[in-house]
Amino acid sequence: MVLAQLGGSISRALQQMSNATIIDEKVLSDCLNEISRALLQADVQFEMVRDMQSNIERIVNFDDLADGHDKRRIIQQAIFNELCKMLDPGEPSFTPKKGKTSVIMFVGLQGSGKTTTCTKYAYYHQNKGWKPALVCADTFRAGAFDQLKQNATKAKIPFYGSYTESDPVKIAAEGVERFKNENCDLIIVDTSGSHKQEAALFEEMRQVSEATKPDLVIFVMDGSIGQAAFDQAQAFKQSVAVGAVIVTKMDGHAKGGGDLCAVAATKSPVIFIGTGEHMDEFEVFDVKPFVSRLLGMGDWSGFMDNIHEDVPTDQQPELLQKPAEDTFTPRLMYEQFQNILKMSPLDQVLSTLPGFSAELMPRGHEKESQAKIKHEKESQAKIKRYMTIMDSMTNAELDSTNPKLMNEARIRQIARDSGQHVRDVMDMFEEYNRLAKIWSTMKRLEINAQQLSKFH
Ligand code: GDP
């Protein structure tokens, strides 16, 4: 996805800083200028970038740092924290609970990806065992109901709408009532995204909201508008109680970074991002893991350091050459897991291993704490569970470059054969898909090639 370019630029700046023999003010300033340039290119607001730069310069005060300090790590940590700050709205979002009915109303301009996102949101939760339902309260746009119906049918999600009724408030209320009676726990109301006049659109949103009493209003916005997202998000917030935001089309536009920061500045939490047109191209958005991954894609340096210390020399080339040579298959993921389990201490390696998802990654600053130890054990257990599942896959499946195509019956069979839950098998494939995407991004960035040259 395009955000990888931003991550790649920031990582390269960090890498250059790491490669410097002496870390001084000049090296830091060059690194920060590079990062600022990358952020401005992603359309992050100038003032935000300037504040980030001066905050880091204040935190990393060379006069206060004794010679023994690991300046590189202190700078990396400061940059990580400042990037997180830019994306953190400081406001948590309402979280619906499985088994307890929640009404979620979607608002946003026509073309933003709202209808597609309603289905993605329903599908995501359905896969996690929820009972979602979709209500089409967009009577303005011809074809809106057909589109929702088509998406819902494909995802096997119940839906409600009307070809003849023109009152969106009536449809919304009826749909919500019906699905409450059917004990659905996630009732999603798709609203209109355009009107003859803006005031009429906002008035309709208010009326639908009043009739359905949503637990959460999600504002869907197109990620290509960059910092202009601030004004758009504010306008919607002023008209209806927006509790969370989903930014779409993050796969297609370089302004995605600016968009995310602008939304955070309105104090609305971004909860998911859309990364493609397909139903499953939808990712949970969580600031810290997101920044880790953004930087982690190129952050081979910490990883290499740990490998150097923790992995016997004869295993290093095997592990390190893989990204350059292979298409990412389940077998390759299996081999990576085997290598990870051989390493010690596990947390050191995992916390810097590029591309590993937040769930598998224990967090660095909780070191020594009970939570950290528990998390570490859970991470190991998860890796072992995934390996057990893969043990029940055929050779052809392990070597496939598109295991996404595996059908439901086969997934159930693998779950039965491996003695695991279907949900775990699906989680394993989700993890595989995430890693495969990152793998191909890393190849494109050719970071591995640069780093490998150090070992030859
Ligand atoms: P609505 O008018 O806001 O309901 O928007 P639609 O759901 O009809 O989406 C408008 C277009 O954007 C469609 O062609 C979608 O396939 C596309 N779209 C939606 N989300 C994404 C996304 O995350 N990435 C990409 N590339 N396209 C998307």
Boundaries of domain holding 324? 297-455
Residue 184 phi/psi, 5-degree rounding, is -75, 140
Biggest CA pair distance of the chain: 76
> Which atom from ligand 1 is nearest to the alpha carbon of 138?
4
State the pLDDT at residue 326: 60
Q: In which region does residue 183 sit, left (phi positive, over 0), alpha (psi from -120 to 50) or beta (all else)?
A: left
How far, in Å, from the CA of 228 to the mean position of ligand 1? 19
What pLDDT does residue 193 have?
85
The residue-averaged pLDDT of 381-392 equals: 88
CA 281 to ligand 1: nearest atom: 23
At residue 226, the pLDDT reads: 85
Determine if residue 281 is left, alpha or beta; phi over 0 gives left, psi from -120 to 50 gives alpha, anything else beta.
Answer: beta
- Say how far apart CA 123 and CA 401 lie, in whole Å: 24
Distance of CA 212 to the CA centre of its chain: 29
Centroid of ligand 1 to alpha carbon of 428 (angstroms): 27
Q: What is the pLDDT of residue 371?
A: 59
Number of structural domains (the chain) is: 3
Neighbours of 381 (CB within 10 A): 10
For 114-146, how does the pLDDT look when each residue is reduced to its tens digit (9 = 90+)? 999 999 999 999 988 999 999 999 988 878 899
More confident residue, 158 or 377: 158
Q: Over 90: is that where the pLDDT of 446 sits? A: no
Q: Quick one: 176 and 42 in the same domain?
A: no
Which of 106, 114, 115, 116 has most ligand 1 atoms within 8 Å of CB, for mutation?
116
Pair (56, 129) in one structural domain? no
Give the domain CATH number at 344: 1.10.260.30
Whether pLDDT at 383 is above 90: no
Which of the four pLDDT bands, split at 50, 70 and 90, describes residue 334? confident
217 plus 179 within the same structural domain:
yes
Q: Which bin fits 272, alpha (ψ -120 to 50), beta or left (φ > 0)?
A: beta
Asked whether residue 354 falls in the same domain as residue 430, the answer is: yes
Give a yes or no: residue 95 inside a domain.
no
Threshold 0.90, pTM exceeds: no
Pair (135, 247) in one structural domain: yes
* φ/ψ bin of 255: left (φ > 0), alpha (ψ from -120 to 50), beta (otherwise): alpha
If asked whether residues 387 and 245 sit together in one domain, one would say no
* Confidence bin at 442 (pLDDT 50/70/90): low
Name the closest-CA residue to atom 20, ligand 1: 113
Tell me the mean pLDDT in the region 414-441. 83
Distance 456 CA to ligand 1 centre (A): 46
User: CA-CA distance, 234 to 266, in Å (whole number)?
Assistant: 6
For residue 360, the model assigns a pLDDT of 43
- Angle ∠(349,299,263) on CA atoms, nearest 5: 115
Residues 236, 107 contacting (CB under 8 angstroms): yes
Residues 256 and 339 in one domain: no
- The total of other beta-carbon atoms located within 10 Å of residue 22's CB is 7
Percent of the chain with pLDDT over 90: 34
- Residue 449, C-beta contacts closer than 8 angstroms, at least 6 positions apart: 324
pLDDT for 408 beyond 70: yes
Model confidence at 423, pLDDT cuts 50, 70, 90, reads confident
Which percentage of the chain shows pLDDT scores above 70? 78
Question: pLDDT tens digits, residue range 219-256?
Answer: 999 988 888 899 999 989 988 999 999 999 988 776 77
189-207 pLDDT, tens digit per residue, is 999 887 767 788 889 999 9
Task: Report the SS3 class of residue 138.
Answer: coil
* Nearest residue to 83 (alpha-carbon basis) of 1, 13, 2: 13
Lowest mean pLDDT among 81-85, 217-221, 342-346: 342-346
Residues 286 and 403 in one domain: no
| Rounded alpha-carbon distances, angstroms, from residue 359 to 246, 371, 382 | 21, 14, 9
Residue 98 has pLDDT above 70, yes or no: yes
pLDDT for 7 equals 80
Cα-to-centroid distance, 219 and ligand 1 (Å): 14
- What is the mean pLDDT of the segment spanning 7-17? 84
Question: Are the CB atoms for 376 and 347 separated by under 8 Å?
Answer: yes
- Shared domain for 194 and 74, answered yes or no, is no
Span 147-200, pLDDT tens digits: 999 999 999 999 999 998 889 999 999 999 999 999 999 999 999 887 767 788
Report the pocket of ligand 1 as residue ranges, CB < 6 Å. Answer: 108, 110-116, 193, 248-249, 251-252, 274-277
CA dist 202 and 235 (Å) reads 9
CATH number, position 149 = 3.40.50.300
Q: Give me the interface pTM, i.e. the ipTM.
A: 0.98
Same domain membership, residue 8 and residue 66:
yes
